[in-house]
Structure 1
């Protein structure tokens, strides 16, 4: 049987700031992120199975990514909680803003690592996460591949 890769794409708006960075991204700013999630597996061969012929239902993959990533990060501001940005985060939270404090510098590279961990936890056992592509601008993106991280 053949392994097949399927990909679902998502978009969300997130703000962040890179504490200690020597460029413009040290300032609070936002991106219209595009996340491509690719999984790999074999299509279901049981003719009586409701998902016959599918690796995974796109709707099932969407539920996982929406609940773990999109619904959490969309229209949020992300800060590294181990920096003085924690003071700004508190001020924003006190004013009713959606703020996420993470253990890492919120770069695309670190975010895509975090997203891979979150998605992998919820995939069925017969489906593997193949890759993620997190695009923060039209010309800039970070990619995570399972084959690079075994």
Structure 2
């Protein structure tokens, strides 16, 4: 993967890590407004996940890089995203496997794992590139900032 510079997230944590990875997957968007994207087609998605926290674990990690990749790559690589009905739903527009929704799902999967760790790091951002010219950034609302 080529080195990229991603938009940064302002935070007060001591540690920040970013994990780049890619996965190949097909999808279709079940909406008349999606044009050609209504048809099944594939992408090589490039993702960057930003995790931050104030404490390291017993191994000296904020979180193990390999686990972040495994959470997503093992689930989505070489799949038809629409068939993952735990993550996506062809009947509910905010759960169609659009780039925006895939980025949010990646965040949620990573954050669920992070919530199980004693040092409680936070997934601050998911950058997801679908094509060489199109990408999405998902940042969850921050708790305690009037967004609860």
TM-score, length-normalised on structure 1?
0.70
Q: How does 1:5-44 map to 2 (within 5 A)?
A: 5-22=16-33, 23-42=35-54, 44=56
Query: For the Cα contact (< 8 Å) 2:24–2:44, is it kept in 1?
Result: yes
Shift of 1:69: 1.5
* 5+ long unaligned stretches in structure 2: 1-11, 90-94
Please state if 1:116 is matched with 2:107: yes
In structure 2, the CA distance between the partners of 1:2 and 1:40, relative to structure 1 (3 Å rule), is: closer
**Residue in structure 1 matched with residue 73 of structure 2 by the alignment:** 70
Q: Residue 55 of structure 1 is aligned with which of 59, 62, 78?
A: 62
User: What secondary structure sits across from 1:106 in the alignment?
Assistant: coil
- After superposition, residues 74-89 of structure 1 pair within 5 angstroms as 74-79=77-82
Aligned alpha-carbon RMSD (Å)? 2.4
- Evaluate the alpha carbon distance shift between residue 129 and residue 135 of structure 1 in structure 2; reply closer, same or farther with a 3 A threshold: same
Tell me, which stretches of 5 or more residues in structure 1 are unaligned?
Answer: 80-98
* Equivalent residues of 2:53, 2:122 under 8 A apart: yes
User: Which TM-score applies when normalising by structure 2?
Assistant: 0.71
Question: What count of residue pairs does the alignment treat as equivalent?
Answer: 122
Task: Report if aligned partners of 2:19, 2:69 keep a CA contact under 8 Å in 1.
Answer: no
Counterpart pick for 1:107 among 98, 106, 119: 98
SS at match of 1:122: helix
The 2-side partners of 1:11 and 1:43 are apart by 28
- Once the two structures are TM-superposed, the CA of residue 113 in structure 1 deviates from its matched residue by 1.2
